[in-house]
């Protein structure tokens, strides 16, 4: 969600909009000029991950002060979470758009709090879900029916980076990569490590590059001593390094085990030109066009993962075909496409929130609609969000 909010803000700014983002950030964290901090967040484990929430009287005062700007639209993310977005929803006086990101089967806390949240959600004029899974979660927990608009990426920006020579695979030493929080169970790294012995038996010189936050020593301790030579812990990487790693990978693996509503890293992988292998979660299968833009394996099945990876590493023509298919698929998620869809929701929200003038309805409405659209297209957007692990 952090990437989604940041990239949407930058795309809107590039289109000439005045954008302000309200978000939690610790005092020593550098933030862009368009970000207004509400202070440090509190980490809370939720839905197999860590949500970083910001709340309290001081935060509420900062939210209210931020809303004093003359926004045309306030765009909230995860409005059902007891954090900044919910505070902004209660205090906003201009049209509100809300995006739902989470996907889960059931949430007892949300169900219990639903009677409290629903009156506030009635103030939302436009609703977005980043995937069908997120749509179902929003519908189940709040009774809303959001339009599905996926996460976006800057495809050309990622594609322009090219392979990083430090990590690029070669015919004699192919590279398999993983990106994610290494010790977050739902990211599925143990499944990939369980598949590693079979992969190395078929491809002895393959190397596995692990990028993301986590305790590298603890990760290596889970790898058999005879296989540790093939594993390199890169730690946290920058956006440019991430693109370079993906571009140079012979296979990028997303072995996630659940709790995913979209899969933005899959799109980034396709944009960089990486052949993508992912668990067959519903959200991942949709992003990969049901296996046409990337290979799928049975979720949690290390043997099936090894089979798919071995098949790709040994077939250069199959990898090239996947690179081409992935690049084509990634274009459908470029911000030039996704951003226009979000703007259309902003326009709808403003139209829904404004009163209709009396008189010859059709002509008055069309003239008024055009004025609204011009105002939104050059307008101010407030982007409130709760933060993310």
Round to whole Å and give the CA distance between 133 and 138: 9
In 90-219, where do the E strands start and end? 96-100, 126-129, 147-148, 175-179, 207-211
**CA 255-209-164 angle, 5° bins:** 120
Supply the pLDDT for residue 48: 52
Supply the pLDDT for residue 388: 33
Round to whole Å and give the CA distance between 146 and 144: 6
Instruction: Establish how many alpha carbons lie within 13 A of residue 350's alpha carbon, considering only the half-sphere containing its beta carbon.
Output: 22
Supply the pLDDT for residue 81: 76
pTM for this structure?
0.83
Supply the pLDDT for residue 361: 42
Along the 389 residues of the chain, how does pLDDT read in single tens digits?
888 999 999 999 999 999 999 998 888 888 999 999 988 766 655 555 555 667 778 888 999 999 998 899 999 998 877 788 888 988 898 999 999 988 765 556 555 555 555 667 788 989 999 999 889 888 877 777 899 999 999 999 999 999 999 999 999 999 999 999 999 999 999 999 999 999 999 999 999 999 999 999 999 999 999 999 999 999 999 999 999 999 999 999 999 999 888 999 999 999 999 999 999 999 999 999 999 999 999 999 999 999 999 999 999 999 999 999 999 999 999 999 999 999 999 999 988 876 545 444 444 445 545 555 555 555 556 665 443 32
Please list the residue range(s) of the chain that carry CATH number 3.40.50.2000: 2-152+335-384, 155-331
Round to whole Å and give the CA distance between 131 and 54: 25
CB count, 10 Å around CB of 121? 19
The domain made up of 2-152+335-384 is a member of CATH 3.40.50.2000: yes
What residues contact residue 71 under an 8 Å CB cut-off, 6+ apart?
20, 94, 379, 380, 381, 382
The helix, strand and coil proportions of the chain, stated in percent and rounded to the nearest 5, come to 45, 15, 35
The CATH superfamily label for domain 155-331 reads Glycogen Phosphorylase B; (3.40.50.2000)
CB 130 within 8 A of CB 342: no
């Amino acid at each position: 969600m952090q990437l989604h909010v940041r990239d949407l803000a930058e795309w809107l700014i590039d289109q000439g909009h005045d954008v302000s983002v309200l978000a939690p950030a610790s005092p020593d964290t550098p933030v862009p000029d368009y970000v207004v901090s509400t202070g440090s967040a509190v980490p809370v484990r939720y839905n197999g991950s860590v949500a970083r929430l910001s709340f309290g009287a001081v935060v509420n005062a900062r939210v209210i002060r931020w809303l004093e700007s003359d926004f045309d639209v306030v765009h909230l993310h995860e409005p059902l979470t007891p954090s900044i977005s919910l505070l902004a929803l209660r205090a906003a006086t201009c049209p509100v758009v809300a995006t739902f990101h989470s996907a889960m089967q059931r949430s007892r806390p949300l169900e219990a709090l639903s009677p409290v949240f629903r009156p506030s959600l009635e103030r939302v004029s436009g609703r977005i879900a980043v995937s069908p899974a997120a749509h179902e979660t929003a519908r189940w927990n709040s009774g809303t029916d959001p339009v599905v608009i996926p996460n976006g990426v800057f495809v050309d920006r990622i594609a322009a980076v090219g392979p990083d020579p430090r990590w690029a695979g070669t015919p004699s030493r192919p590279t398999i990569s993983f990106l994610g929080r290494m010790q977050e169970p739902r990211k599925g790294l143990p499944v990939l490590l369980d598949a590693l012995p079979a992969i190395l038996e078929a491809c002895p010189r393959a190397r596995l590059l692990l990028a993301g936050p986590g305790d590298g020593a603890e990760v290596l301790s889970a790898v058999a001593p005879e296989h540790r030579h093939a594993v390199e812990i890169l730690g946290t990487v920058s956006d440019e390094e991430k693109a370079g790693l993906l571009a140079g990978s012979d296979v990028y693996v997303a072995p996630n085990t659940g709790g995913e509503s979209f899969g933005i890293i899959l799109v980034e992988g396709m944009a960089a030109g990486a052949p993508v292998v992912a668990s067959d979660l519903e959200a991942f299968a949709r992003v990969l066009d049901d296996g046409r833009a990337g290979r799928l394996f049975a979720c949690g099945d290390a043997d099936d993962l090894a089979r798919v990876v071995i098949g790709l590493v040994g077939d250069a023509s199959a990898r090239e075909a996947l690179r081409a298919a992935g690049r084509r698929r990634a274009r459908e998620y470029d911000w030039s496409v996704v951003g226009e869809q979000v703007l259309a929701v902003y326009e709808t929200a403003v139209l829904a929130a404004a009163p209709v003038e009396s008189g010859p309805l059709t002509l008055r409405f069309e003239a008024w609609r055009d004025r609204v659209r011009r105002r939104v297209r050059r307008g101010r957007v407030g982007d409130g969000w709760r933060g993310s692990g």
